[in-house]
Amino acid sequence: AKRAIPLYEALYRLNPTDEALTQRMVDLYREVGNLADALELLNELQNISDAARPGIEMQKAYLLWELKRFEEAALILTKLSREFPESDKLRYLSGLGQERLGNYMAAVKTYESLPADTSYWKSAQFRAAVSYRELKQTDDAIRVAERLIESEKADWDAYLLLGSLYADKEQFDDAIAITKAGYTKFPDRHRLLFMQGVHQEKSGDIEDCIATMRQVIEKDPTNSSAYNYLGYLFAERGENLDEAERLILKALELKPGDGFYLDSLGWVYYQKGEL
């Protein structure tokens, strides 16, 4: 990509209105990490003509997101959404723009306005639930997440989110039940099984939590979080400390230098009296 850029820049100077050439240059700039240059190029292309170029503006919004210039991106997306109210994609992206600015209620209103028959409805419902959670409106977040689950359009992460929302309200039986249901539907998503164990521990069901974490390790031997969680649980209870040490050392083998895992290991040594 770095070698190709000078050639494309020379071609661009010969034909600056070639949109396909400009797009290729933007892609190359992004590939090498020159996001500012890509944005400048899009600005130049937009200024060549007075004609509206919504595709160019959308690309600018994406680049501004990557540059963490969220307010500028949100302004572009809101403007486009008003200019093209029939576009569900633009409305959804406008919601994302508001969410990234922390304008969660505005984001919720945008997400909730999307019709159920659009391909963006599922993602919009998920983001609406997340936004309600940010607003500390947990009941509303649960309402939206439950609606998504009931639609049968939900992906595995919707079950994960709903379980966490139930846990926020200390409805741990509901949290356990929904993550179990999610894992039954998506058996390759071991994060659901892991969170089932977390909710079991929070509910006080330690034995089931231990059994679940062992199941996570069996099904996903590279899951460092499960090794650490189980090891730390043993350390907290002052039991199975030799096993706890082995578990956390395995977590560190999978994720060297992790601060949380090192903390867990230190606590195991403290509990063993190895000061």
pLDDT (tens, 9 = 90+) of the chain, 275 residues, equals 555 555 555 555 555 555 565 566 666 566 656 677 777 766 666 665 555 567 777 778 878 878 888 898 888 888 888 888 888 988 999 999 999 999 999 999 999 999 999 999 999 999 999 999 999 999 999 999 999 999 988 999 999 999 999 999 999 999 999 999 999 999 999 999 999 999 999 999 999 999 999 999 999 999 999 999 999 999 999 999 999 999 999 999 999 999 999 999 999 999 999 99
What is the per-residue pLDDT for 70? 87
What is the per-residue pLDDT for 32? 56
Cα gap 265→250, rounded to integer Å: 11
What is the per-residue pLDDT for 27? 66
Cα gap 169→52, rounded to integer Å: 48
Cβ count near 89 (within 10 Å): 15
What is the per-residue pLDDT for 10? 59
Cα gap 258→264, rounded to integer Å: 10
Structure tokens at 204: 């006080």
What is the per-residue pLDDT for 164? 98
Amino acid letter, residue 187: P
CA distances from 230 to 164, 181, 202, 208 (A): 19, 23, 13, 12
What is the per-residue pLDDT for 81? 86
What is the per-residue pLDDT for 30? 64
CB 130 within 8 A of CB 161: yes
Q: Where are the alpha helices (DSSP H) in 220-272?
A: 224-237, 241-254, 259-271
